[in-house]
Amino acid sequence: MYRKLIIVSIATILLAACGSGSAPEKAVENYIQAIIEKDATQLSTITCKDWEFDALMMLDAFQAVSTELEGLSCQETGTTPDGLAVVSCTGKIIASYDGEIQEFDLSIQDYLLENANGEWLVCGMQ
């Protein structure tokens, strides 16, 4: 009996750890990385359907330039009244086209995320 209790306890802990899904800040980091890598397929899988078009338009804006990410760090900063997680980031996207460099500060906007079946999806910005 004692052995079964230990096995059930360990299984419960493992299932709880697996069931928590990804953290919202990691989802935003993946979202930004998909834009930098120009990965439309990945971007579509980590965004809400209502935000997918906007995300793909953002990716499209970076298609003709070389991009790199500098100092990316994100953290959950709260929730909206309708239950979306709010994530703020620091760092910047550096874009280069024909020798001209432009920097995009990632701290000027927050990201809104929804937990859909244990997975965090980017659903907009504020």
Q: What is the mean pLDDT of the chain?
A: 86
Mean pLDDT of 109-119: 95
Pairing assessment for the beta strands 85-97 and 119-125 based on DSSP bridges = unpaired
Mean pLDDT of 13-23: 45
Entry pTM: 0.80
From the list 114, 62, 65, the residue with the least C-alpha distance to 86 is 114
Q: Which domains does the chain have, with CATH numbers?
A: 21-125 (3.10.450.50)
Q: Cα 55 from chain centroid?
A: 12
**pLDDT value at residue 7:** 35
Tens-digit pLDDT profile for residues 41-98: 999 999 999 999 999 999 999 999 999 999 999 999 999 999 999 999 999 999 999 9
Q: Are 84 and 123 in contact (CB under 8 A)?
A: yes
Q: What percent of the chain has pLDDT over 90?
A: 80
**pLDDT value at residue 89:** 98
